Structure 1
Amino acid sequence: MRKVFYMQLIERYLTDAVLGFFALLSLFLFIAPLVFEFNDFTQDIVAALEYAIVLLFVLEYVSGLLLAKNKVGFVVDGWRVIDMLIIISALIAFIPFVPDVLRHSPVFRLIRVARIALLGARSSFALKLDNNSVDLSTNEAVIGLKVLSLGTSGAQFEVISWEQGLNRLRSGEPDWLFISGLDESRLASITAAMGVPISAVQGLFQSTSPGFDTLEHFSTFFVRYPMPMVPGARLTRTPILLVGTSENVVVLSRDHTDLDEKVQLRLASIDTKTPKMVRATLALVSEIMSAYTQVAESIEVTLTNLELAQSRLGDEAFLARTFSLRADILKARASLKHLKSVIRDLFSGKVIIAGASPSDREPFHFLADDANDLYDDIDDLRESLQGLVDLRLNVSSFQMNRVMRLLALLTALALLPATVGGLLGMNITDAPWPGTLAQIAFGVGVGMTLSLYVFAIKGWLR
């Protein structure tokens, strides 16, 4: 365990930025003998520094290899091959009796600096590939229409055709449909079958914020369903529109998701004595709530990891992560704000569910309490993130104040010898006063010492 700790310590402090600095230093050590004439002792010091830098490269490579789970993949990785070439080229130059041509090979250690830039380019390129792959999968997901109808048992869905779904809506018999992969060209057909204006469902393609509307004989509930989210990933949502009339409940989704499968599993846990229209709606809202609960848990884990890693992150990287996390929190918070209002109205009867009595709506009362608690949790995460950002800004401001105090100190100290030198001139041998150079230097030293004491008393040296 102690060996692992030391290796992790090496990986933590011998970062690419640190080794890049030493790569530049090795370049300067290579050029220095060409510019200055060194004696044997100085040349030995330069050689020792060269060996020390190579040792740092070796330590970083060996520790990374031992910590790697896939050691073969680590060795054959293109970037690690460059690391090995850097080490080998440096060691070859230090072998005695090597021709002078090979002794110039330490220049290859500059590849380490190029590696830092290439790592940044590779990361941004990989990010673009990831985004493109997500976009492609999303575009593929909307291809193909899927229509599900709640069976007579009220416990599972059955797949039906688009025309069958429209006929069921036109028949006037109570039904609960789940339609995914819907495109805008089909809106006119389904609104005509339900007897609602097309403007009531256009929000599925045009609305940007969650909400609900209640008119004379129908209600609409628009919400964004969060896709499965792992800690550190961004929040993605797809629009879901529920339309309830006195006879039917229809759920419309532009994309194919796992929501229909989760709703079907949820139906098995709801009392079968509850009317199937209420059961299906309760299962739908419960699964949306469950999805946002998982989002809150993922955001909390991400925030905790950010708190632990914030000391190792630069200001730009830290603020970039907090900005993305804050955007996800605000999205989830806005959705939950409207969701809890809709659940409350489902309980009160403002949102229509066909054939639902006040007692049938009782489960929505408990769900509304859960929605309020989840909204408070998301709001607490927002405040925690804001507190973390404020702490970072205060620390950065404090460090900047320390730098400014240090600059003021150096300026004040440099002012004394500069002023004295300007008044007395560069040569005091023929000056018309008895002061010597040692005396003047002593006076300047006393003034600088007293100035340091004043700064120390003020606390500017802390």
Structure 2
Amino acid sequence: MMKIYRTQDKHLTRVDDMNEGAWICLTNPTDDEVRRVAATLDIEPADIVAATDPEESARISLEDGYTVIIVDIPVKVDGAGEGIYTTIPLGILLTQELIVTVCSTDTAVIGDFAACRVKGFSTRKKMRFVYQLLYRAATMYQQELRLIDRRRQAIEKNLAGELKDSDLMELHGLESTLVYFATSLRANATVLDRLTRYKRLEQYPDDRELLDDVIVEIRQAIEMTSIYRDDIKGTRELFSSILDNRLNNAMKYLTSITLLMAVPTVISGLYGMNVQSDGMPFANTTAGFAIVLGLTLALCVFAAWVLHKKHML
């Protein structure tokens, strides 16, 4: 889908022509749309469709007459649980007259600009628009990171109750998300570092301040990712420790029950031997059976008391 916007009288309006000061927004573009934009702006079609490849890495390159900037942005994984995200490329192409954005799916990074929810946004200020896009992406990372940490805390609260396999799988999914975030944020930081050194890109003082803000936000997101990865690692280790402890308690309890059952088993086994009754205590006594049962019960109670004192029962 292709939409063309232009800021006129401080209002964002949708237009049909690709003239100076326009913003061409491509979302999962068709081949015809790619060819039209490439022919009109004299851009290589491969540079336009690069951002639709999920394996494309973040980069910046200066081409003949235009600049290609590709950064990674977070998106929620369809059908996955809360806090499970991945990253996809967002392409930004700068020409002398206008700006082009390319993404494989609808994303809030672009949607906020199209809905005029970004203060001071103008399609005519191309570099400021780029930095605003990068700033919005950085803040989105931080929002999703906070959501991931809240989800981790919710899972951690279940430790006192019944542990489920789904909790462990969700914790693994959160950790995988943080791995994707860490990789993408480092690549985005590299792109920002190169933006500060390219003299070809015209920058104004206000734009420079905004770029510094973007760099700060990216660094903060990287630090948050590192901290939350450590938190999830600690939670996962706590899960393992609790499971091991519960298994040890179960084995200790079963061992104690086995010891208690061994007492009547041994006594009944001795009295069940095919020997003369003269040598067996209480064998010729009328109340012998009751006496043996009583002694057996007493021994079991004593064994249970000893195990209880040793915290094994």
TM, length-normalised to structure 2: 0.76
Is contact 1:347-1:365 (8 Å) kept?
Answer: no
Correspondent of 2:4 among 147, 163, 167: 147
Pair 1:241 & 2:91 matched? yes
Match of 2:152 in 1: 303
Match of 2:112 in 1: 262
**Greater helix fraction, Structure 1 or Structure 2:** 1
Match of 1:119 in 2: none
Match of 2:138 in 1: 289
Match of 1:276 in 2: 125
State the secondary structure of the residue aligned to 2:278: coil
Match of 2:277 in 1: 431
Q: CA deviation at 1:258?
A: 4.9
Please tell me the residue identity of whatever aligns with 2:27. G
Match of 2:265 in 1: 418
Distance change (3 Å), C-alpha of 1:247 and 1:387: same
Q: CA deviation at 1:423?
A: 3.2
Is contact 1:326-1:385 (8 Å) kept?
Answer: yes
Please tell me the residue identity of whatever aligns with 1:159. R
Correspondent of 1:407 among 243, 254, 261: 254
Map of 1:51-90 to 2, 5 A cutoff? none
Is contact 2:99-2:126 (8 Å) kept?
Answer: yes
Correspondent of 1:199 among 32, 35, 46: 46
Please tell me the residue identity of whatever aligns with 2:59. F
Correspondent of 2:242 among 391, 395, 415: 395
Match of 1:178 in 2: 24
Distance change (3 Å), C-alpha of 1:178 and 1:332: farther
Please tell me the residue identity of whatever aligns with 2:14. V
User: 1: distance between equivalents of 2:154 and 2:104?
Assistant: 34
User: 1: distance between equivalents of 2:111 and 2:52?
Assistant: 23
Q: Relative contact order (alpha carbons < 8 A, sep ≥ 6): 1 or 2 greater?
A: 2
Please tell me the residue identity of whatever aligns with 2:136. E
Q: CA deviation at 1:405?
A: 0.9
User: 1: distance between equivalents of 2:154 and 2:118?
Assistant: 36
Pair 1:370 & 2:227 matched? no
1:270-290 CA-partner distances (Å, limit 9, x unpaired):
7x9xx8222111221122223
Pair 1:386 & 2:233 matched? yes
Q: CA deviation at 1:402?
A: 0.8
Map of 1:20-35 to 2, 5 A cutoff? none
- What is the count of residue pairs matched by the alignment? 299
Extract unaligned runs of 5+ from structure 2.
283-287
Map of 1:78-227 to 2, 5 A cutoff? 144-150=1-7, 155-161=10-16, 164-165=17-18, 168=19, 175=21, 177-185=23-31, 186-208=33-55, 210-215=57-62, 217=64, 218-226=67-75
User: 1: distance between equivalents of 2:203 and 2:269?
Assistant: 95
**Greater strand fraction, Structure 1 or Structure 2:** 2
Distance change (3 Å), C-alpha of 1:183 and 1:203: same
Please tell me the residue identity of whatever aligns with 1:390. E
Is contact 1:343-1:368 (8 Å) kept?
Answer: yes
State the secondary structure of the residue aligned to 2:55: coil
Q: CA deviation at 1:369?
A: 1.4
User: 2: distance between equivalents of 1:367 and 1:213?
Assistant: 16
Distance change (3 Å), C-alpha of 1:416 and 1:268: closer
Distance change (3 Å), C-alpha of 1:262 and 1:221: same
Q: CA deviation at 1:394?
A: 1.6
Q: CA deviation at 1:357?
A: 6.0
> Kindly, what percent of the aligned residue pairs are identical?
16
RMSD: 3.7
User: 1: distance between equivalents of 2:203 and 2:214?
Assistant: 16
Is contact 1:223-1:239 (8 Å) kept?
Answer: yes
User: 1: distance between equivalents of 2:218 and 2:226?
Assistant: 12
Is contact 2:142-2:221 (8 Å) kept?
Answer: yes
Extract unaligned runs of 5+ from structure 1.
1-143
1:113-156 CA-partner distances (Å, limit 9, x unpaired):
xxxxxxxxxxxxxxxxxxxxxxxxxxxxxxx42122455x7x55
Distance change (3 Å), C-alpha of 1:450 and 1:364: same
State the secondary structure of the residue aligned to 2:71: strand
Please tell me the residue identity of whatever aligns with 2:37. I
Is contact 2:87-2:181 (8 Å) kept?
Answer: no
